[in-house]
Structure 1
Amino acid sequence: MDARPQIGQFVKVLRGKDEDSYAVIIDIIDERFVLIVDGDKRRFDSPKRKNVLHLQLQPAISQEVTSSLQETGRVTNAKLRYVIQKFAHAKGE
């Protein structure tokens, strides 16, 4: 797995208010920062800017999110909640 974050990739938040929750990367700002959303507290229209060091990149990328971003440039919050819930469930959490 590439050590660099990718759009659509699941992450586990290691620091901050959302610690231990999952989110999805929707944009990469630069080497150090990405924008993450979870469709719930962090909606698509107000993503959280996060230092990559404070995230644990998961070895999974949501095709639903990446294809939606490619096709329409956005993802619905419902879809984000759904893929994150499905991912967390698959991990047994």
Structure 2
Amino acid sequence: MQDNDLIGKIAYSKAGRDKDKGYIIIGKIDDNYVLVADGKKKTINKPKRKRLKHLNLTCEVANEIKDSLLSDERDIDIKIKSFLILKAIVKEV
């Protein structure tokens, strides 16, 4: 999988205190680790490092956020936060 294939994907934590929490992958460290953000506690400037095996990857990609990440736009945290909130609302219904 290429680096850009993971960026922008929606992933959910499998276990731990953040179980079932939604994240967006914002970077790839190596074959085992990625950087994720949720727009609130874990921002673009201070992302969370997660093992890929600890994430449930979805096939859905947030294309607008991916484009923003690749072009180094500002206010990406607001986009991530609102996208994940909307996703949680839709998931509940």
TM-score for both structures, normalised by structure 1:
0.84
- Are 2:15 and 1:12 equivalent residues in the alignment? no
Match of 1:59 in 2: 59
Match of 1:85 in 2: 85
1:69 and 1:75 in contact (8 A); partners too: no
Aligned residue runs from structure 1 range 33-48, under 5 A = 33-48=33-48
In 2, the alpha carbon distance for the partners of 1:49 and 1:75 equals 21
1:10 and 1:25 in contact (8 A); partners too: yes
In 2, the alpha carbon distance for the partners of 1:16 and 1:41 equals 16
In 1, the alpha carbon distance for the partners of 2:67 and 2:9 equals 12
The change in CA–CA distance for 1:75 and 1:35 in structure 2 (over 3 A counts) is farther
Identity of aligned residues (%): 31
2:11 and 2:25 in contact (8 A); partners too: yes
| Unmatched segments (≥5 aa) in structure 1 | none
Structure number with the higher helix fraction is 2
TM-score for both structures, normalised by structure 2:
0.84
The change in CA–CA distance for 1:46 and 1:21 in structure 2 (over 3 A counts) is same
How many residues align? The count is 91
- Are 2:57 and 1:49 equivalent residues in the alignment? no
